[in-house]
Amino acid sequence: MGYGCCGTIMSCSTAPITNRNQVTFFPESVINSQAASAYAAFKKKAKLSEDKETLKLIEDIGSKMKIAISTYFSSKKLNDPTKDYNWEYILVDDDKTLNAWCMPGGKIAVYTGILKVTKNVNGLANVMGHEIAHAVAKHSVERASASLALNVGTTVADIFLGGAIGRTRNTVGRTTGVDILQVGIFNPFTRTQETEADYLGLAFCSMTGYDLYEGIELWKRMKEFNKGKEPPQFLSTHPSSENRISQIRSWIPTIRKNFPKIDNI
C-alpha cells in the first residue's frame, strides 16, 4: 500500500470471486458513508411505492442473497466484502423507469418500471443479483478512482502536449458528438464491470436457488422492449443485450458447478 495523488491512499486489490485486479484511491468506508447519505436523501425525495407485497419480495430476495454471499466467503475462509453492509431496500413508484441499483454498502432501489421486464420472481432475482454484484465487487470505489486518475493524468499530459488532447477531444466532440475519452476508456472499463456483475449476479442467483435461465429470458424481454433502440456497444457503458444473452448462456454450466445452491436458504 502506498500514497497516490492528492494525498489519497492507493491500494492494489482484486475483485471478489473473479480476482480481477483493481486499483483504488479511496477507502471503501468513505464511499459507503457517502452512499448512505445519498440514499437517505433519495428516500426523502423519491415517490415510494405502496405495493407492500412486491417490496416484501424484494426484501426476501435481498435477504437470501445477503446470507448466501456471507456463507460463501465464510466457507472459503475469505474476507466477506459485505460484512459491514447495512442492507436497505426500497421500491420506487416510477413506471417509466426501467431500472434498479445497489449503492455501496447494500442500499438497494428497484423501480416499478423494471417489473414490466422482470415479470416474475426469478427475473427480479437476476436483476437484483446483478445490482448487488456491483456493490460486492466495489465497482463504485473503482470508478471513482479511475475518474480521478484519468482527470489528473490527462490534465498533466495536456500541459506537456500544449493542449493537444483537449483540442482533439473538443474537435472530435463537435464533429461527431462523441467524447473520445468516454468511448475509448470509460465505456470499455464500465462494460468490463457490467460483464463482471452479470457473472457474479448469476453466481448469487445460483447460490440462492433462483433460475439462471431466466436471466436469458430477461435480456430477451429487455431487447424486445427496447426494439432496436440500443446504441452500438462501443458507444454504450453496457454490453448489448445480444452479447449478454450469449455470454450468460455459456456461463450457466460453470456457474452451477462452482456455485451450487447453499442449503437452508
Question: Which of 131, 194, 196, 214 does the annotation list as catalytic?
Answer: 131
40 occurs within a structural domain? yes
Q: Is residue 177 part of a domain?
A: no
The 3-state DSSP class for residue 137 equals coil
Residue positions counted in the chain? 265
Residue 131 is a catalytic residue: yes
Q: Is residue 166 part of a domain?
A: no
**Is there a domain that residue 10 lies in?**
yes
221 domain-assigned? yes
Q: Is-contact 128 65, C-beta < 8 A?
A: yes
Report if residue 157 sits inside a domain.
Answer: no
The predicted model gives 194-212 an average pLDDT of 96
Q: Per residue in 57-70, is it b (16+ CB within 10 Å) or e — as a string?
A: bbbebbebbbebbe
C-alpha cell at 175: 464533429
In a domain, 123, yes or no: yes
Q: What percent of the chain has pLDDT over 90?
A: 50
The domain tally of the chain equals: 1
Question: Which one is predicted more confidently, 199 or 160?
Answer: 199
For 48-89, give the DSSP string. B---HHHHHHHHHHHHHHHHHHHHHHHHTT---TTTT---EE
Domain that holds residue 17: 2-143+184-258
| pLDDT, tens digit, 9 for 90 and up, residues 232-265 | 444 355 678 888 899 999 999 999 999 999 998 8
State pLDDT tens for residues 101-129: 998 899 999 999 999 999 999 999 999 99
Q: Is residue 153 part of a domain?
A: no
Higher pLDDT, 182 or 52: 52
